[in-house]
Amino acid sequence: MPAAERARYIQTLREFPDRLEAVVLPLSDAQLDQRVAESEWSPRQIVHHLADSHMSANFRFRLPLDEDNPVVPTYDQEAWSRHADYAMPLGPSLLIIRGLHQRFVALLESLTEEQWRHPVRHPEHGQLDVEDIARRYAGHCDNHIQQMNAVGAKFGW
Ligand code: NI
């Protein structure tokens, strides 16, 4: 994969805290709890999910740098979203995301060609490498911004 692709993933991760805050900080508490369907998360739940998911990303980036083809931990994201902390104000999760993403950028910018290729196994997605992890989380950032914009489009904010 050309270095330009990796630079794009890093840039997406760098910009994400600003993009996310631009979408959610103007919202009222009522807007943060709107859902397009019963089965869909509200913007508030999405922000808390992003904090949990990207804490998990930290393991997925780091374990393969120092361990031989580690199996990364997984979790039930729907079950996690039903716990009380997913109803909290956004502040703590926005801080987690901002701090984590600064760490991701510093870490990924330091990687050698060889380190980008370090293998890591995901119990559901199979054999991956560090670059695959970066691609997946850059996509995760974009997908959830789109998901929140869809809530805004439905409710007119
Ligand atoms: Ni997600």
Query: Mean of the per-residue pLDDT values for the chain?
Result: 96
Alpha carbon of 76 to ligand 1 centroid (Å): 11
DSSP H or E segment with residue 120: strand 119-122
Stretch 127-155: mean pLDDT: 96
Find the CATH number of the domain harbouring 126.
1.20.120.450
Alpha carbon of 63 to ligand 1 centroid (Å): 21
Quick: pLDDT tens for 76-96: 999 999 999 999 999 999 999
Residue 1 binned pLDDT confidence (cut-offs 50, 70, 90): low
The closest of 53, 52, 28, 41 to 150, measured between CA atoms, is 41
- Report the distance separating Cα 35 and Cα 42, nearest Å: 5
Alpha carbon of 77 to ligand 1 centroid (Å): 8
Quick: pLDDT tens for 120-139: 999 999 999 999 999 999 99
Alpha carbon of 137 to ligand 1 centroid (Å): 9
Domains of the chain: total: 1
Asked if pLDDT for residue 105 goes beyond 90, the answer is: yes
Q: Which domain holds residue 9?
A: 3-155
Alpha carbon of 48 to ligand 1 centroid (Å): 10
Alpha carbon of 17 to ligand 1 centroid (Å): 15
Asked if pLDDT for residue 2 goes beyond 80, the answer is: no
Quick: pLDDT tens for 13-44: 999 999 999 999 999 999 999 999 999 999 99
pTM: 0.96
Q: Which amino acid is at 129?
A: D
